[in-house]
Amino acid sequence: MSGPDEQDTPPAPEPGRPEILRVEGLGKRFPGVVALDGVDFGLRAGEVHVLLGENGAGKSTLIKMLSGAYHPDSGRILLDGAPVEIRTATDAQRLGIATIYQEFNLVPQLTVGENLALGRPPRRFGLVDTRRMHEQARELLARVGIDVDPRTKVAELGIARMQMVEIAKALALNARVLIMDEPTAVLTTTEVQRLFAIVRQLRDQGVAVVFITHHLEEIAQIGDRVTVLRDGRSVAEVPARTPEEELVRLMVGRPIDQQYPREASSPGAPLLQVRGLSRAGAFTDVSFELRAGEVVGVAGLVGAGRTEIARAVFGADRYDSGEVLVDGHRLPGGDVNAAMAAGLGLVPEDRKGQGLVLGADVGENLGLVTLRRATRGGFVDRAGQRKAAGRVAAQLGVRMSHLGQEVRTLSGGNQQKIVIGKWLLADARVLILDEPTRGIDVGAKVEIYQLINSLTASGHAVLMISSDLPEILGMSDRVLVMARGRLVGELDAAEATQDSVMALAVTEVEDARVH
Amino acid sequence: MLVSTNVLSRQPALRSLLAENGALAALVVLAVALSLLSGDFLSVTNLLNVGVQAAVTAILAFGATYVIITGGIDLSVGAVAALSAIVLAWSATSAGLPWPVAMVIALVVGLACGLINAALIAYGKLPPFIATLAMLGVARGLALVVSQGSPIAMPDAVSHLGDTIGGYLPVPVLVMAVMGVITAVVLNRTYSGRAMYALGGNEEAARLSGIKVGRQKLVTYALSGAFAAVAGIVLASRLASAQPQAASGYELDAIAAVVIGGASLSGGKGRAFGTLVGALILAVLRNGLNLLSVSAFWQQVVIGVVIALAVLLDTLRRRGSG
Ligand SMILES: Nc1ncnc2c1ncn2[C@@H]1O[C@H](COP(=O)(O)OP(=O)(O)OP(=O)(O)O)[C@@H](O)[C@H]1O
Ligand SMILES: [Mg+2]
């Protein structure tokens, strides 16, 4: 196994390097949907090729045909100039194609080490050599730069760490073609830079990388070329230096005038007060308040305790000490129903694990939070539920064939809209959003921001956790910064900048030995 | 780009029903084949007979449908059915209670068994397989204890439940239909029914959406227990006596019926109508094999194969379209 670090870094790739992979006229239909309708796309050795397109444009479907998850209905795939059939994941692996999917494929009940070695664990006398497995896992984890014990169960990791484990798992395959479907959707700047360093290193070694992202600023940083997909067709191929406005126009078909349309209103009475909240190993002495009409952003590095705080406030997890008050009334800890009754809502970060019933349809999922409210004498007003679901789906521009479509078959960004939508219907007075725009395209983000505006305009309050710093800065009235389980600073919207927030986020908290 | 799915909805209702429901298609094929092979199959008497034979399994299976939709399993239903029937017969005869009171007690026993299952699962965090396996042992044992190991005659009034109304409609078939309608209504229209699907689909997402998981599990297993009691009473009234060993192994038939009907053992999927079809497939098959004088030994082999085939076909059909 030749590790990439052993080799010297050759100069940046000269254009005109050999094309490894080409797809021609690729088409794919699902019942009721044409997902791909003629895509052409070429990938050179030593380039990072960005796939850009709105939610549901067909990016994930395209890469799933390269990884053997789907089989195309029409068109062909050429590898080194020769047509290939990629029928299974094993075929893809044999051809040197590794894929990081948008929805994670880790086994939550297994440990990080076991997941990294899944399918090909090191053996000794026919048995799994656990020690070597953990050693290899530790090396991989160090390479992607996360501090996780390989014996940790994947279920205990936050979403960002799961993403890093997925990346490590793909790196272990030493593939010639590395496909990454929105790897940065939940990462903070630090991890993104780390990832980019790895990607550049691979690229310089001649690996061809397909990179999908909705963060436009990343394209110029990491990409070489961009292929734009719209409605299942490839509509343009442009250099990665193309200005963002032009990329947006190609992708959405119209310009977006204002990415962050925050309309601050003067804050009213305090709705949510959190006082001295602590839980051993997660967060320590966290206090803040949220006033009516406010959007408060929470920034911090991965592992800073932001998600843990959000879940504790909402009652999803318990806390050891401190108190949470809504309208001055104290909530019992660890009781989701009491929190909901008081007017709290939580859009969780992990849509697949905590947000959605994947096997149920769009209407069901959108109506889940409001199910109780739509019940009279034990019977649910299903017609009313459907109507409300249809309304909010239209508001969010969910791309689906009908309300009866299984959520599992929606594109990633559209699934995310469903998680937000079900809480919009609930009309929670204090809405906690944990990575709300994860995987959502630039156009739809603006819609969501406008919905946040209308919530606060009607006296609701929003607590927004996000690893997307521009989003935090653009949409918050105040920014809280967390580091190592503590609240290390609070900045006003006017004074907060990327640098001031980051400076706080990396604060070393003395005597706080939490991780 | 979206194109509408009208292709299916423009087809005649029956065809789209068959296309959507592999089990129903299998039942139709089975019935056609049997009517060709045996002249007796399509007679009214025989069909009503099939209905009666399907009734007990179907009622148990309706109860199992709730549980399987939540992603659980209930192995205790056969034993609970026997215990409930024994309790009814014993209260009405040995204890001399009026039969309606005895019937209520029997239902309460079924309900209580279900609640205990649920408490062990939801609050004791036992896996459903283990909790209900334990209940299977306890209920079967109690049935033997109460009856002292021998059958108890059912009160006459209750035995009429095994008869027919107006000389042709068997009461078990009527009870099956009523329990089926109840199940369909509970699953489709009530809060608890909708919550069961959410729970089975993703328990954590359901909890974070404000569904009280423990309480809904109580409802689920209580329904399963109560349905088991009804099944036990129907079975005992058909036999005119409650037997402590009655309905042994019926839990597996019930589970098979639910799964043949399109439910998924991993939860989140299942319908009352599908379960009914599943139970009918099993009953039609047994009946047909009898008509064709296939030996009881071979019958077991055939039924095993058919269960596997039915579920396999359904899985393939879904994979093809998904
Ligand atoms: N298994 C499926 N069954 C039905 N429709 C599907 C299936 N998979 C994808 N689709 C549909 O195909 C279209 C393209 O989806 P895809 O996941 O490729 O979008 P995407 O470009 O990756 O979007 P996003 O940015 O939201 O991840 C969507 O309309 C989606 O609903
Ligand atoms: Mg996608």
ipTM metric: 0.87
The average confidence (pLDDT) of chain B is 89
Buried b (16+ CB within 10 A) or exposed e, A155-177: eebbbbbbbbbbbbbbbbebbbb
Task: Point out the ligand nearest to the CA of residue A414.
Answer: 1
Atom number of ligand 1 nearest to Cα A70: 1
User: From ligand 2's centre to the CA of A60, what distance in Å?
Assistant: 4
Residue-wise pLDDT tens digits, B53-95: 999 999 999 999 999 999 999 999 999 999 999 999 999 998 8
Judge whether B26 lies within some domain.
Answer: no
- Compute the distance between CA of residue A504 and CA of residue A105 in angstroms, rounded to an integer: 34
Q: What percent of chain A has pLDDT over 70?
A: 95
CATH code of the domain in which B316 resides: 1.10.3470
Number of other residues whose CB lies within 10 A of the CB of residue B136: 21
Judge whether B25 lies within some domain.
Answer: no
Pick the range with the lowest mean pLDDT from A41-50, A202-211, A328-337, A501-510: A501-510
- A399 at B interface, C-beta within 8 A: yes
CB contact under 8 A, A364 and B194: yes
**pLDDT above 60 for A8:** no
CA distances from A408 to A226, A420, B217, B302 (A): 28, 16, 25, 36
> For residue A340, which residues of chain B lie inside 8 Å, CB to CB?
210
Number of separate helices (H) and strands (E) present in chain B:
15, 4
DSSP 3-state assignment of B232?
helix
**pLDDT above 90 for A355:** yes
**Domains contained in chain A, CATH given:** 1-11+19-96+209-253 (3.40.50.300), 256-343+429-515 (3.40.50.300), 352-427 (no CATH)
Judge whether B251 lies within some domain.
Answer: yes
- Compute the distance between CA of residue A241 and CA of residue B174 in angstroms, rounded to an integer: 73
Nearest residue to A42 via CA among A231, A234, A279, A221: A234
Residue A252 near residue A54 (C-beta atoms within 8 A): yes
Q: What percent of chain B has pLDDT over 90?
A: 69
Residue-wise pLDDT tens digits, B97-125: 999 999 999 999 999 999 999 999 999 99
The average confidence (pLDDT) of chain A is 90
Residue B157 near residue B99 (C-beta atoms within 8 A): yes
CB contact under 8 A, B207 and A369: no
CA distances from B239 to B51, B77, B156, B249 (A): 16, 19, 12, 17
DSSP 3-state assignment of A251?
helix
Judge whether B178 lies within some domain.
Answer: yes
Cβ–ligand 1 contact at A59 (below 6 Å)? yes
Cβ–ligand 1 contact at A33 (below 6 Å)? yes
- Compute the distance between CA of residue B170 and CA of residue A204 in angstroms, rounded to an integer: 79
Residue-wise pLDDT tens digits, A82-109: 999 999 999 999 999 999 999 888 998 9
DSSP label of A507: P
DSSP 3-state assignment of B195?
helix
**pLDDT above 50 for B262:** yes
DSSP 3-state assignment of A181?
strand
**Residues 6 or more apart whose Cβ sits within 8 Å of residue A454:** none
Nearest residue to B223 via CA among B259, B248, B263, B190: B190
Judge whether B32 lies within some domain.
Answer: no
Q: Phi and psi for A371 in degrees, rounded to 5?
A: -55, -45
**pLDDT above 70 for A285:** yes
Judge whether B42 lies within some domain.
Answer: no
DSSP label of B216: H
**pLDDT above 90 for A9:** no
**pLDDT above 70 for A238:** yes
Q: Which residue has the tokens 């021609």?
A: A24
Mean pLDDT: which of A299-303, A442-446, B112-116, B170-174 is highest? B112-116
What is the pLDDT at residue B320? Answer: 53
SS3 content of chain B, % helix, strand, coil (to 5): 75, 5, 20
Joined together, the tokens standing for residue B92 give 């009405």
**pLDDT above 60 for A81:** yes
In A292-421, DSSP assigns E strands to 295-300, 321-326, 329-330, 344-347, 375-376, 379-380
User: From ligand 2's centre to the CA of A209, what distance in Å?
Assistant: 16
Pick the range with the lowest mean pLDDT from A35-49, A114-128, A267-281, B253-267: A114-128
**pLDDT above 50 for A453:** yes
**pLDDT above 90 for A189:** no
Pocket test for ligand 1, best of A214, A358, A407, A411 (most atoms within 8 A of CB): A411
What is the pLDDT at residue B317? Answer: 66
> For residue A316, which residues of chain B lie inside 8 Å, CB to CB?
207-208
Q: Which whole number is the average pLDDT over B250-269? A: 92
Pick the range with the lowest mean pLDDT from A2-11, A238-247, B6-15, B307-316: A2-11
Q: Which whole number is the average pLDDT over A33-41? A: 93
Task: Return residues 309-348 of A near B (CB < 8 Å).
Answer: 314, 316, 336-337, 340, 346, 348
Number of domains in chain B: 1
Buried b (16+ CB within 10 A) or exposed e, A36-54: bbebebbbbbbbbbbbbbb
- Compute the distance between CA of residue A382 and CA of residue A385 in angstroms, rounded to an integer: 5
Cβ–ligand 1 contact at A171 (below 6 Å)? no
Which structural domain, as residue segments, surrounds residue B96?
Answer: 54-321
Q: Which residue has the higher pLDDT, A311 or A171?
A: A311
Which band of pLDDT confidence, cut at 50, 70 and 90, is reported for residue A515?
Answer: very low
- Compute the distance between CA of residue A382 and CA of residue A359 in angstroms, rounded to an integer: 18
Judge whether B68 lies within some domain.
Answer: yes
- Compute the distance between CA of residue B178 and CA of residue B172 in angstroms, rounded to an integer: 10
Residue-wise pLDDT tens digits, A417-443: 999 999 999 999 999 999 999 999 999
Strand partners, A29: A34
CB contact under 8 A, B201 and A360: yes
Residue B285 near residue B54 (C-beta atoms within 8 A): no
Q: Which residue has the higher pLDDT, B156 or A474?
A: A474
Taking the CA of residue A352 and the nearest CA in chain B, the distance in Å comes to: 9
- Compute the distance between CA of residue A71 and CA of residue B55 in angstroms, rounded to an integer: 45
User: From ligand 1's centre to the CA of A34, what distance in Å?
Assistant: 9
Q: Which residue has the higher pLDDT, A19 or B3?
A: A19
Q: Which residue of A has its CA nearest to B7?
A: A32
Nearest residue to B79 via CA among B38, B147, B23, B138: B138
Residue-wise pLDDT tens digits, B22-49: 788 888 888 999 999 988 888 988 999 8
Atom number of ligand 1 nearest to Cα A31: 4
Q: Which whole number is the average pLDDT over B248-252? A: 93
What is the pLDDT at residue A357? Answer: 96
Residue-wise pLDDT tens digits, B124-157: 999 999 999 999 999 999 999 999 999 999 988 8
> For residue B3, which residues of chain A lie inside 8 Å, CB to CB?
32-34, 401
Q: Which whole number is the average pLDDT over A329-357? A: 95
- Report which residue type is found at A312: A
What is the pLDDT at residue A470? Answer: 92
CA distances from A244 to A57, A183, A307, B121 (A): 18, 20, 31, 54
Nearest residue to B218 via CA among B58, B70, B62: B70
What is the pLDDT at residue B165? Answer: 82
- Compute the distance between CA of residue A512 and CA of residue A488 in angstroms, rounded to an integer: 12
- Compute the distance between CA of residue B12 and CA of residue B10 in angstroms, rounded to an integer: 7
Q: Which whole number is the average pLDDT over A177-186? A: 93
CA distances from A463 to A291, A458, A493, B145, B159 (A): 10, 15, 14, 61, 65
Residue-wise pLDDT tens digits, B160-170: 877 888 778 89
What is the pLDDT at residue A266? Answer: 84
Residue A188 near residue A160 (C-beta atoms within 8 A): yes
DSSP label of A460: -
DSSP label of A467: S
Residue B117 near residue B132 (C-beta atoms within 8 A): yes
Q: What percent of chain B has pLDDT over 70?
A: 91
Judge whether B214 lies within some domain.
Answer: yes
DSSP 3-state assignment of A431?
strand
